Structure 1
Amino acid sequence: MAEGTRTPTAPAAAPTPALPSTTLGRFVAAVTAVVGTSMFGWSTVLVDGDATRARAQCVSDVLRARPFPVDVRTGAVDETGLAAIRRCTAGLGADVVRQMLVGLAVLAAVTALAYLVAPWCECRLRGLRRLDRVPGTEALRADLAELVRQAGLRRPPTFVVSRSARISGNTFGAGPWRYVRLDLGLVHTHRVAPGVFRAVVLHELAHVRNADIHLTRLTIAQAWAFPLGVLVPVTVTYLRSGAGRHLLADSWRLAAFALIVQVSAWSVLRAREFTADARLTAADAATVRSLLAADHRRTGRWARLGAVFRFHPLARARADTLDDPGRRFTARPVEALGAGLAAGIAAPSLRDLTTSLPAVLPGTDPVTGSAFVTGILLGVPLALVVTGALWRAAWWARHTGSRATSGVVFGAALACGLLVGRRLAWRVAYADDLRAWWVEALLAVLWIAGGALLGRWVADGARAHLRWLVPSAVRRTRWAWAGATLATSVLTAGYVAMLLILDAGAVDDGWSMLRLVAAREGVGAATPLTLLDMIAFYLRITAASAPYLIVLLLLAALFPVLAGRGATRRALRLGVTAGVVGALVLPLVPLGVGAAVRDPGLATATAATLVTSHTLLPVTFVELGVAVAAVATRRLSLPHGLLAALTAGALLTPAVLVADVLLSCVAGAPGCALAVDPDTAVRVLTHALVVAPVVAALGAAVGSAVTAGLAVAGRRRWWSTAVVALLLVTGGAVVATGRRPPPAREHDPCLVGVWRLAAGRTHLPVAADSPLGRMAGLTADTAVELSTGAAGGHATAYRVDGTATDLYDLFVAEGTLNGHTVRSVQRGTVTYRWSAGAGRYAQRDQVAASDRVLRVDDRELPLTGPPEDFGGTYRCTADRLVIRTDADGSRSEQTFVRSPL
């Protein structure tokens, strides 16, 4: 290293940054790949089949006897049913934790055994002898001692000699033992070609100096531990259980996992060679280059592709890297793709494990808490890979004055790896709650865009920090990289957590969060706007229950602003200006809102909306405008735009509280007093400093991307800019007109609210030759009377916009037909439009997302076909609603009571 630094202009002796090497980053990716792909084996091998079947049968019996215990729509909880399900699943969490811990222990034990036994096997199989025990090697040992001193090693390794005639060497070891193997052909060159001997030995000593011996041997041990500790036990388990056909069906997945592990391990072994070559001086590099030129193996396209499956790089690749040291600092998207694949495969199983653990994040539900814990576990290795690659690329660009990578492609490759790995995961492979194709496509676009934004953020932060750090400031450079890694770990954890949360909430069934949000909107079927609304819905829920999670993400996103003082001052000035102006204008809003609230013709829901959101929407728009303005100047980055938005939000918070107090007085509220409600203060602080900054950051990111796209298109062809603008206008028109309200109809405000069924009777004619008549053994046409009560689990939510949703937990209406018990069972949602007035009631445009069957004793008759529109009469009072229908011989009467929810 000392000689290399004396000739910094030589291509092969380029200075090395005070940052982690490529070998370390690829080793972290390889560990993630081994652990991630091993998840499936632990649950497959260690699962208790009898206990699993017993738990599933117990839960099935409970749900058959009573409705689902938790109504996520209304918040009602059946404690008895919930306790019964908990008794059925008792011990499940402990079993899952045991499986994962035992699997980790097995993998670690096999890895440690292979790591410790490898040196002994190397010495025995190759017949190695210690050089200091070979007579007549005094001169050789003296020259080796001199080369050890030149390599900068404090403690010399143990040199051993093999019988091979090759001119090469190798390094291996375990723990404190480090060995350098010298082949007999290399020892012979000590006398006939001392330059070659010097270059090869210094290359091997560079491995010792780089401390990559243990990384290399641990990587090889993991590559052996995966087939021995995972593939073999899984195969034996399949064969012993008589499920050989399932093993054949899953063979492609097993092969894909094995390939991912091996390719990740081989990449580590290749990276160490380039890092060792970098420590050679110019003369030694020229000698190595001449040796590499003697390798006449093919170097075409197929050879380069096959190099991915080699543990040693091609000679041509090493020669090219010696000629162009910048190749070592290139951020290769394939590295991000591999790390993302490994993390994506591990994510579903890790989420299952963390769900079984006790609550570790206060204020979060099991889905959110487990997703964020999984994100933290996977965010750290992903952050090490991303920051290491992009910071090295930024360092080389600053050192040479070349153009730095933007990080967009690198981050997008990471996102693609996560998405593909999630689909390859063992847990997802056998799931039946898959998403519709457009949901999958839209989520993929959103996550790839998020990954590109994450890569851009890391690259911009690296450039900003390295711009102010001199090359000699080794400690400050390492501290800056450590801070960037910590911030990237937090952001990556949130990114992975949101992927897992939406993965669980966007499944295409009647009970998913996507369908619930669609029912809440009154559109019935899910649309792209519903998916975006669901993301906002999750944001609001997390901000209300666990705001510290979003606060941590915002603080991490602000890390690059610590680098540039000038840009930070401009961002603060912009935020202070907008915040002061907004704080002066915002208290005037209650004057107009108070006059509107006093309008007797104003609907109650509209007045409530005005009162609750008259200040929050302006705060959102101000922060969004400040962030977009900061980014649009092209002098401030996205983190600086977020800083400006947060500054404006902090100054607007007191004005919002003052406006709330003034509104309560202007609107004529009883007990008007100049006091701030604590709940109102928390709501304002959460919105101004948590929700609105997130919206501002996302809006600024979209604006920056659109502006950059238009700028790139404008530099090439004018018509491409016109096409982009046309697409933006079309998309805005679709969003604006996609949910146009229906024509106004008569809506009795008495019905608006949530009603729960108290009693119901239905008279249905049954033909003898109908499916129901044949199942009941009818010989003549008759009718059946079905009745239900409050325990049926039926609720209806009427909205002021003329839409409504029927919610069925496990609705059961029961009657008797020809001595047989008939039950009408329905579960799911039905969304429709309603009109009521002058005692007449009608339903139309029904969209069902439910399952309905008729059960005759123990036989079932599914009821299919689209729901039909119908009408009838109604009677509504303050706390009771009665609806009667009579059509085609069928009659029904349903009595509802108003729900306090």
Structure 2
Amino acid sequence: MTERVGVFEGAAPSAVPPGPASVPGRLLRARTDLRFAILVGAVLASSVVAFSVVCAALPSSERLSRGPVDSCMAGIGPATAWITEQGDRASTQLAMANACERPYVLHEAGCIAAGLMLEAALAVLLYALHPWWPRLRRRPTSRAGSGPRWLRAGSVRLPRWSRKVRLTGDENADVLEELDSLARATGLSRLPLWLVDPYATTTGGRAYGLPGRPRICLDVGLLVRYDLDRDGFRAVVGHELAHHRHRDVGRTYLTVALWWSFVAMALIPCVLLSAYPRALLGTGGAGGLLGTTSPGGEEKLAYRLVALVVLSAIAYLARNMILRARELHADAVAHSWDSTRNSLPRMVAGLPWPCTRAAWRWVPAGWMRWAAHAGTHPSPGQRVAAMLEPARLLRTGAWEMAGIGLLAGLALHNLALLTGNVTGRFVTVGLTLLALPVGVVLALTLASALLAAADRRTPSVPEAARSLWDVVLLPAGLTGGMVCSGKISLGTADLTALTPTLGQYALLGLVQLGILLPLALWTRSVHRLVPASESGVTRGPRTRWIVATAGVVWGPFLALWNSRQLDPAHLTTVPLHAVPAIGRTIGWYAALTGDLADAYFYAPLVLVRATPFLPAGLVLVWAVPLLLARRRRGSLAATEGVGKALAVGLLAGLATVAAGIALPYAARGALPPEVRRIADPSAALGNLPFSVVHASTYMAVTALLQATAAAGTALVCRRLRPVLVPLAVTVTAVLGTLGFYVSRGTSLCVAVTGVTPDVCRARVFLPDADAAFHLREVVAWGVVAAVPAGLLGAAVAALSGHRRRPSDGEADTAHGYVRRRPVLLATALGLLATALGLLAALPLAGAAAGVPQDYLIWRPAAAVAAQSPINGQDASDSSGRRNDPCLLGSWRAFPARQRVRIDGSRVWLTGEGGIWTFRPDGTLIIDYGKGVSETATLHGRPVVLRASGSVTTRYRTANGKIGYYSPVLRRPGELSLRVGETYVVRAKLTESFSPDRFRCGGKAVHLTPASPTTDSPYELTLTRLPSEPN
């Protein structure tokens, strides 16, 4: 619709030069549709959180939570107290918690679904009624009979005392014929219904109407232009017809209807029930804010209200952004229809801006101008620029990209909690599938924006400079929006315990930028392969292939990372800090083992390795551009660079093979035989044998060599670096996988692990069934190292002046590509294409072959059945039985003996175990004070196990066993194991327990492991303190 402004005066502004007739209508519609879809997703996702707040305040939710759910949750700890392994206990507790919460989750899901249906129904109803919205505005204030009945606007005769009226009658036949002729010229399938607002003295109009029933309401001031300025009249009418021609009327009013539906159905109830959470309950009434009913409620309430305000502002601004985009689109289309090429720019250029209203006269003009930039209509300057350069509408700025990232992040965070609750044990899969469409959409959006930026042709600013800045600013804006969304989402307001720290926010931003920046560089580089005829407003098949490849390759990685950032604790910690099974006292070896294990078990990297996306994506980022180049004049456009990349990758790959041969000899010289021997299969979790450390060391060396290949390729290749660097890394990765088996065979032949050389045969050097698994490991480690190395190499090349310099007479006329003369023979090109095809097939085959192993990693761990200690009999408090009264009181744990494994040797430690206090309420307090120790001697060196701090846990007894559950750390402490002056283990005290078998004799209690097959036996004797009765 045209902005409502004052009547255009007769004096016209200076002539505006005509613009091009080519308008990217399909691309403009896709751009607006994408932003509309993101807005709808963000609003619906925020509505999910708002409706969950409303659902939690319902009496039915209160009854369900305080009844079956609470009682079921209270029984999880006692039921799992008899499970020995900590991992099995945690998985079982999680499965039981999901089962307990299932009724409430289903109730909440039904409540949210009902709320979303009501919100959608209200939005559809408002949209269906929007043809009557204009009739509710500008009603006459005078009563009928107080003046003439008819109003004449030029040659048009209208009823005076009416609302929006239909333009009919013989006296208006010429105007109707002109309007219908314009409508038929635009190709509308059905002529619109023409209406007039007799009280609008402006020169605009309004396009609206339901599908199949288009309507256009013209201002009476515009009808005056029918006689005075026929070209201007046609231009404004053409603008309104353009809205119907490109079917953006429905999107416009559906956007407005969705906004008001969200405000009425979700926002207002959420605000009210956040302030008065017990307003709908039978007890408590409407009195009392959230801050008076729960600890920390005031902060939570303030956080939620601030999040709601920010969300409302963002949704409102996004709505206005869509409305401004459709106005610019209609301007560009109507201008392409204008035969004079001057009428619509002349009309728009004369409009006053910003548009002021009487109610806002008290607002300073500067503030109004600043706020108008975020309004529903763009400025006249922007509109005229869009007419003269339609491709400008395809470009996305950094701030707009930040808004897209903010909306996408809000949608992701606000849906995460419900998704996690519904998926239960499959929460990792559920969150990843939730983030997958978000990641793909963001990758497609960024690639499209970068292609539009690369098509820029501005005389005053060089294209290369602007494109270079867009390569950095657009990914930075998208990253900033995604990172900031986690702080202001409604989900974060309710889950403050999962709020990332400042360091975690920095890590989130750096990794996100590390994913998006290569995408931007790759898109900008590959765009040079596209001829000018397929750029700009006419996107050809090559451009579509570039955008699709960007979404397929980078979308899954964005999804994997964004799904993991929903639980920020796993981003800065590792679940297991491993130590050597043998050789803990060798400082450098223990440090190397720990660092390699931290990298290997890092959760996001584990999930990336367990997908086929990384090997396949590594191939696609160089195979697709080379195929596009091959289609260009029948030859590889970057043959010289391909040869250099293959040579660098080959050298680095051969270096990995050489490193694989050298590592076994280095291990023999640096480590004693007892460290290198095959470890006992019964070694505890977290104790890595030498074979695993050796394999991880080789992976690290291979990753460094892949990084070297990436940096070297960036230095020696003058163009298409984002394409050729992955090619070199692929070559190194394939040879590195082969080098892994060479290293394994060399280790067996030189008997590094103590195995006799009889097994040294040719087959030990050949790949086995785990080749796909090892290839993924090599690729995963290598890509992580190659990305920063490639960026660094490109930066060094740019700073050193190593830029692309085409030779005279050798440049391609389309994009300046250098061709070697004479052209390579067809035989050489065929051999090169065959080698590239084989190189691409190996990682792709490995990606496909590893899918069955991926399933084992993504599949959640099976829960262990929670059983009572013996014969299925329940025990202690859950069945009405009391704990054994013999245990009540305070005890001193002395002597305390336990067996530990150090460098393959079993050592019995003897000492104290702290003060144990069993209370009648089923609570056990273990106090280590400032520190208790258990000592022994190993090979003449003292071994000291020391513990400090205090822990509280619940306990229950049955049939001579004690089970523990719900442990809490009362006072922080430390647990350390020292051999001589070397710390083998040094960590914070943890609150983990395993069941014990006990024998109580009144004065003493003897504790032993509940499982006789444990690898770490112990014996504790608890002696009653003198002050305690028998």
Report the TM-score range of the alignment, normalised by the length of the smaller protein.
Answer: 0.7 to 0.9
Q: Distance in 1 between matches of 2:615 and 2:203?
A: 59
Letter in 1 for 2:711: V
Select which of 891, 899, 904 maps to 1:784: 891
Select which of 525, 547, 566 maps to 2:611: 547
Are 1:854 and 1:860, in contact at CA under 8 Å, matched by a contact in 2? yes
Shift of 1:855: 8.1
Are 1:409 and 1:455, in contact at CA under 8 Å, matched by a contact in 2? no
Q: Which moved more, 1:621-630 or 1:442-451?
A: 442-451
Alignment of structure 1 residues 571-720 onto 2, 5 Å: 572-578=642-648, 580-581=650-651, 592-595=662-665, 601-602=672-673, 603-604=675-676, 607-608=690-691, 611-613=694-696, 615-632=698-715, 633-667=717-751, 668-669=756-757, 671-675=759-763, 676=766, 678-704=768-794
Select which of 497, 500, 506 maps to 2:563: 500
Provide the TM-score with structure 1 as the length reference.
0.73
For the pair 1:49 / 2:62, whether they are aligned, the reply is: yes
1:190 maps to what in 2? Answer: 226
Are 1:841 and 1:872, in contact at CA under 8 Å, matched by a contact in 2? yes
Are 1:487 and 1:556, in contact at CA under 8 Å, matched by a contact in 2? no
For the pair 1:408 / 2:444, whether they are aligned, the reply is: no
Alignment of structure 1 residues 402-551 onto 2, 5 Å: 402-403=463-464, 404-405=466-467, 406-430=470-494, 431-461=496-526, 463-464=527-528, 466-467=530-531, 469-470=533-534, 474=538, 476-477=540-541, 480-481=543-544, 484-485=547-548, 487-488=550-551, 491-506=554-569, 514=573, 516-517=575-576, 533=598, 537-544=602-609, 546-551=610-615
Letter in 1 for 2:319: A
Q: Deviations over 1:290-349 (max 9, x none)?
A: 553252658976444202442122334434555666653442112111111112222123
Shift of 1:837: 3.1
Are 1:204 and 1:276, in contact at CA under 8 Å, matched by a contact in 2? yes
Shift of 1:664: 2.5
Are 1:172 and 1:179, in contact at CA under 8 Å, matched by a contact in 2? yes
1:141 maps to what in 2? Answer: 176
Q: Distance in 2 between matches of 1:606 and 1:834?
A: 25
For the pair 1:310 / 2:319, whether they are aligned, the reply is: no
More helix by share: 1
For the pair 1:232 / 2:254, whether they are aligned, the reply is: no
For the pair 1:120 / 2:132, whether they are aligned, the reply is: yes
Q: Deviations over 1:370-394 (max 9, x none)?
A: 3321221323443454344333332
Q: Distance in 2 between matches of 1:157 and 1:329?
A: 29
Are 1:114 and 1:221, in contact at CA under 8 Å, matched by a contact in 2? yes
For the pair 1:259 / 2:303, whether they are aligned, the reply is: no
1:106 maps to what in 2? Answer: 118
Shift of 1:417: 1.0
Distance 1:560 1:96, change over 3 A: farther
Q: Distance in 1 between matches of 2:921 and 2:257?
A: 67
Distance 1:182 1:855, change over 3 A: closer
Q: Distance in 2 between matches of 1:679 and 1:456?
A: 37
Distance 1:26 1:266, change over 3 A: same
Letter in 1 for 2:791: A
Q: Deviations over 1:620-656 (max 9, x none)?
A: 3343222222223342332331122113323554454
Are 1:835 and 1:843, in contact at CA under 8 Å, matched by a contact in 2? yes
Shift of 1:227: 0.7
Shift of 1:190: 0.8
Are 2:22 and 2:390, in contact at CA under 8 Å, matched by a contact in 1? no
Q: Distance in 2 between matches of 1:570 and 1:591?
A: 32
Q: Distance in 2 between matches of 1:561 and 1:851?
A: 64
Q: Distance in 2 between matches of 1:42 and 1:798?
A: 56
Q: Which moved more, 1:97-106 or 1:62-71?
A: 62-71
SS of equivalent residue, structure 1 residue 170: strand
Letter in 1 for 2:432: F
Task: Provide structure 1 residue ranges, at least 5 long, that are not aligned to the other structure.
Answer: 1-8, 360-364, 713-781, 801-810, 874-890
1:722 maps to what in 2? Answer: none
Are 1:583 and 1:652, in contact at CA under 8 Å, matched by a contact in 2? yes
Q: Deviations over 1:394-428 (max 9, x none)?
A: 23349998345333211111111111111111221
Select which of 213, 221, 226 maps to 2:257: 221
1:24 maps to what in 2? Answer: 33
Distance 1:336 1:262, change over 3 A: same
Q: Distance in 2 between matches of 1:28 and 1:257?
A: 16
Task: Provide structure 2 residue ranges, at least 5 long, that are not aligned to the other structure.
Answer: 1-15, 139-162, 281-285, 291-300, 357-364, 631-635, 677-687, 803-888, 905-912, 957-964, 981-1004, 1018-1030
Q: Deviations over 1:30-57 (max 9, x none)?
A: 2233223323112222343333444355
1:271 maps to what in 2? Answer: 325
Letter in 2 for 1:429: A
Letter in 2 for 1:824: I
Over aligned residue pairs, what C-alpha RMSD do you find?
Answer: 4.9
Letter in 1 for 2:777: H
Distance 1:482 1:130, change over 3 A: farther
2:346 maps to what in 1? Answer: 289
Letter in 1 for 2:322: V
Letter in 2 for 1:498: W
Q: Distance in 2 between matches of 1:795 and 1:784?
A: 22
Are 1:151 and 1:209, in contact at CA under 8 Å, matched by a contact in 2? yes
Alignment of structure 1 residues 160-179 onto 2, 5 Å: 160-163=195-198, 164-179=200-215
Q: Distance in 2 between matches of 1:150 and 1:861?
A: 77
Are 1:330 and 1:393, in contact at CA under 8 Å, matched by a contact in 2? yes
SS of equivalent residue, structure 2 residue 27: coil
1:883 maps to what in 2? Answer: none
Structure 1 or 2, whichever has the larger Rg, is 2
Shift of 1:443: 3.2
Q: Distance in 2 between matches of 1:582 and 1:453?
A: 22
Shift of 1:833: 14
SS of equivalent residue, structure 1 residue 432: helix
Are 1:44 and 1:234, in contact at CA under 8 Å, matched by a contact in 2? yes
Indicate the structure whose relative CO is greater, using CA pairs within 8 Å and at least 6 residues apart.
2
Distance 1:293 1:337, change over 3 A: same
Distance 1:531 1:69, change over 3 A: farther
